[in-house]
Amino acid sequence: MSSKLLGAESDFFANMVVKAMQNVKKTNKYGQVKCNVKAVHLLKTHGMSSKESTLVNGYAIEATRSS
């Protein structure tokens, strides 16, 4: 991963990306493995450290309260 912001944590995020792709991979009847990249979404929140990022299996809903 070549990012100035995430360069120091590239191993951390690379492992997270691999796990996310493994969660959405499908094998067709010919034995070909396909990964639907569009099935993986990022939710960004402000004020947290990049090392506090987590991979959520299933659905994650970011709910905020507005006034």
Per the structure, the count of domains in the chain is: 1
Q: Which residues have a Cβ under 8 Å from the Cβ of 44 and sit 6 or more positions away?
A: none
Q: Quote the CA–CA distance of 60 and 23 in Å, as a whole number.
A: 15
For residue range 25-47, what is the model confidence (pLDDT) as tens digits? 999 999 999 998 998 888 877 77
Domain of 23 in residue numbering reads as: 1-67
pLDDT at site 65? 67
> Is the pLDDT confidence value at 8 over 60?
yes
pLDDT at 32: 95
pTM of the model: 0.70
CB of 30 closer than 8 Å to CB of 65: no
- In degrees and rounded to multiples of 5, residue 42 shows phi and psi of -110, 135
Tokens of 13: 């995020």
Spatial CB neighbours of 1, under 8 Å, sequence gap ≥ 6: 7, 10, 13, 14, 17
